[in-house]
Amino acid sequence: MPDLIERLQEAALAAIANETPALTHRPETVRGLTLELVLNGSGQLTEAVAFIERRSSGPALLARRAASEPAR
């Protein structure tokens, strides 16, 4: 069992490291990080993915979108 724990820890570290650009760009907006570590039936790790969740202010988001759209 310790081998499984080590593999999961290594996969989690690699998945988080893969998201370094997203985590370092405007880190004040990072709301959370979700890790998905997928194992097959024999306990082998088949996939490791990290998802970044950001928070944003509704009015500020709409204002940025309006400013970036071309004038009609």
Which residues form the domain of 14? Answer: 2-68
The secondary structure of residue 42, as a DSSP letter, is T
Q: What confidence tens digit (pLDDT) does each residue in 4-26 have?
A: 899 899 999 999 999 999 999 98
Which stretches within 1-72 are classed as H helix? 2-18, 20-24, 58-68
pLDDT at 9: 92
What is the widest separation between alpha-carbon atoms in the chain? 62
pLDDT at 38: 93
Residues ≥6 apart with Cβ < 8 Å to 24: none
What pTM, to 2 d.p., does this model score? 0.66
Please give the tally of structural domains in the chain. 1
Percent of the residues in the chain that have a pLDDT greater than 70, as a whole number: 79
Q: What confidence tens digit (pLDDT) does each residue in 32-65 have?
A: 999 999 999 888 889 999 999 988 766 666 676 6
- CA angle, 28 as apex, 25 and 32 as ends, to 5°? 90
